Amino acid sequence: MVGSETAATRELRSLDPSLGRRFVRLTNRVFVAAGYGVSTFSFVVGDSGVVAVDAGGSPGTSAEAIAELRRHTDLPILGLVYTHGHLDHTHGATAFTDENPAIEIWAIKPFGTEGRFLARNGADIALQRSLRQFGNLLPPQKKINTGVAPSVVSGNTPVNVVPEPRIRPRKRFETDATIRLGGVTLAVSHNPGETDDQVLVWFEQDRVAFCGDNMYRSWPNLYAIRGTQYRDVRGWCEAIDRIRALDPHHLVMGHSLPISGAAEVDEALEVYSRGLWGVYNATIEGINAGKTPDELAHEVRLPDDLADHPLLREYYGNVAWSVRAIFSGVLGWFDGNPATLNPLHPGDRARRIADLAGGADVLFGEAAAALAAGEAQWAAELCDLLLALDSRSDEVRALKADALDELARNMLTTTGRNYLHTYAEELRASSVGERAAAAGR
Ligand SMILES: [Zn+2]
């Protein structure tokens, strides 16, 4: 029912207590800062210095984590290694360079490739889509958490800032490196998954694996709806197996709390691997059976025994969108059906369907009835036909906005919820803008 709290909303809210701020002493030498901003970052303490793994997303909260570290050790932070180039893992680094301007910042050579690709193609809309996905522009009552982190508050995740020169990595490696600083030895290796620049950091002494964003407590974001290049899903599956092969006793993920215990970590990695391979293999099988992305997005599911596993709930990523990404990543946009090679223009198609239905007003009545009956997706699709016809635009935009809000409330995937709610607000604002323009004419 419109306005009431849905099961999806309740489930997401129930995660709040686990997403709060914790400074975890993982082993005698490893401290993990979780809930200091949206990402998780760590400190490995040696005999004469500290090496950090990732820097957090905001200098203020990263400085607070460093202050917490200072309750345990006075040793200087000599090094920092980035697991990948996303800003929520790097932008906090000025807190580290403020403390030690000579800090060694390490990263793999193809660092920040995802952002550079969008920039090189002038894909400016990626910023607007990113703001929608993260819900930066939503009022607080329309945001919950992201499932793996507290919700983005203004200034928390700077999605649109250019990294400062001070936090650029100066120690670069091709594929592998051994970092030896202050009595800490870390083995770093290329482990492409969420991004091509993802690395695995291994602290063998305490058997701690730092896996960056290749894993967290949610179905992973195999495709980001803000718009990214294909994230090679087969490669991502292999990346999980590479972590598991190390037999880690502790697993520190790019978001959410770490997992400890050899058996617990192995089980978590087994579940994650099987979930990812299951969806990937089922999609490839469906592709080879000649199915289209639209069909596969509805048909491919997680293996039955994993569907409700807490590590694979669709809080941040979404299985259906992953399936579409695998299809287009492997074969490109053409779904294989020749009728879709040159479909009618959406306006032409809408006109023919309206004629068939008995006119645009009939479609509008059907859309309103569908929303009232709880068929919000159908309502939104009918609204799109009407928008393509430019018919009763103001009312249609308002109806579509209500349908999107209803879809959002029932969606578990937070990126999608945020996107739908934000888009609904944009539709309402565009109607207001058009009325104002008409009044001024
Ligand atoms: Zn991240």
DSSP labels, 154-217:
TTTS-TT-PPPGGGS--EEESSEEEEEETTEEEEEEE--SSSTT-EEEEEGGGTEEE-GGG--S
Domains of the chain: 19-256 (3.60.15.30), 277-338 (no CATH), 344-434 (1.25.40.880)
Tell me if 218 sits within 8 A of 315, measured CB to CB: yes
| pLDDT tens, residue by residue, 133-167 | 999 999 988 999 988 988 866 544 445 566 678 88
Q: What does each C-alpha distance from 375 to 29, 235, 378, 420 come to in angstroms? A: 54, 38, 6, 16
Instruction: State the pLDDT at residue 312.
Output: 98
Calculate how far, in angstroms, residue 133's C-alpha sits from the geometric centre of ligand 1: 14
Calculate how far, in angstroms, residue 415's C-alpha sits from the geometric centre of ligand 1: 13
Whether residue 361 has pLDDT greater than 90: yes
d(CA 416, CA 411): 7
d(CA 428, CA 92): 36
Terminal-residue alpha carbon distance, the chain: 40
414-440 and 393-409 helices, crossing angle to 10°:
160
E strand map for 224-362: 250-252, 259-260
Calculate how far, in angstroms, residue 145's C-alpha sits from the geometric centre of ligand 1: 14
Give the containing element (helix H, strand E) for 201: strand 199-203
Calculate how far, in angstroms, residue 335's C-alpha sits from the geometric centre of ligand 1: 31
Pairing of the two strands 77-81 and 104-108: parallel
3-state secondary structure of 62: helix
Calculate how far, in angstroms, residue 39's C-alpha sits from the geometric centre of ligand 1: 6
Average pLDDT taken over every residue of the chain: 94
Model confidence at 71, pLDDT cuts 50, 70, 90, reads very high
φ and ψ at 21, to 5 degrees? -75, 125
d(CA 188, CA 174): 11
Burial of 113 (0-12, 13-18, 19+ CB in 10 A): middle
Whether residue 1 has pLDDT greater than 50: no
Calculate how far, in angstroms, residue 311's C-alpha sits from the geometric centre of ligand 1: 16
The structure tokens listed for 188 are 């770093």
Calculate how far, in angstroms, residue 93's C-alpha sits from the geometric centre of ligand 1: 15
Model confidence at 436, pLDDT cuts 50, 70, 90, reads confident
| pLDDT tens, residue by residue, 282-296 | 999 999 999 999 999
